[in-house]
Amino acid sequence: MIERDDLDMLAAEFVLGTLPVEDRQRVQRLRTTHPELDAQILQWESRLSALNDEIEPVDPAPGLFARIERSIDQLEQASSQHNEVVKLRQQVSRWRLSTAAASIAAILLIAVMMLEPTPTKSPYVAVFQHNDEQPAFLLTVDLARKQLNIQPVTARPAGNQSYQLWIKDDELGPTPRSVGVLNEHFEVDPAALTNYDAELLRRATFGISLEPRGGSPTGQPTGPALHGFLYPTGEGADTNRL
DSSP 115: -
- The residue among 93 and 240 lying less far from other proteins, judged by its C-beta, is 93
Is there binding between residue 17 and other proteins (CB under 8 A)?
A: yes
Determine the Cα–Cα distance for residues 12 and 26; give it in Å rounded to an integer.
14
Within 10 angstroms of residue 208's Cβ, the number of other Cβ atoms is: 28
Is there binding between residue 72 and other proteins (CB under 8 A)?
A: no
Question: Which residues on adjacent β-strands are paired with residue 130?
Answer: 108, 134
Binding mask 93-132 for other proteins (x = CB under 8 A): -------xx------------------------------x
Is there binding between residue 50 and other proteins (CB under 8 A)?
A: yes
DSSP 153: S
CB 75 within 8 A of CB 92: no
Residue among 3, 35, 51, 239 that touches other proteins (CB under 8 A): 51
CB 98 within 8 A of CB 229: yes
> Taking contact as CB under 8 A, which single stretch among the options 41-49, 115-123, 221-229, 231-239 is the one that binds other proteins?
41-49
Q: Which residues in 19-38 contact other proteins (CB under 8 A)?
A: 20
Is there binding between residue 54 and other proteins (CB under 8 A)?
A: yes
Determine the Cα–Cα distance for residues 47 and 200; give it in Å rounded to an integer.
47
Tell me the helices (H) and strands (E) count for the chain, helix number first.
6, 9
* Total number of residues that touch other proteins (CB under 8 A): 20
Determine the Cα–Cα distance for residues 95 and 112; give it in Å rounded to an integer.
9
The three-class DSSP label of residue 72 is helix
> Taking contact as CB under 8 A, which single stretch among the options 5-13, 74-82, 108-116, 219-227 is the one that binds other proteins?
5-13
Size of the chain, expressed as the number of residues it contains: 242
- The residue among 9 and 68 lying less far from other proteins, judged by its C-beta, is 9
Is there binding between residue 81 and other proteins (CB under 8 A)?
A: no
> Taking contact as CB under 8 A, which single stretch among the options 15-23, 116-124, 149-157, 224-232 is the one that binds other proteins?
15-23
Within 10 angstroms of residue 235's Cβ, the number of other Cβ atoms is: 11
> Taking contact as CB under 8 A, which single stretch among the options 16-24, 70-78, 147-155, 172-180 is the one that binds other proteins?
16-24
Is there binding between residue 48 and other proteins (CB under 8 A)?
A: yes
Determine the Cα–Cα distance for residues 176 and 183; give it in Å rounded to an integer.
20
Name the residues that contact other proteins, by CB under 8 A. Answer: 8-9, 12-13, 15-18, 20, 47-51, 53-55, 100-101, 132
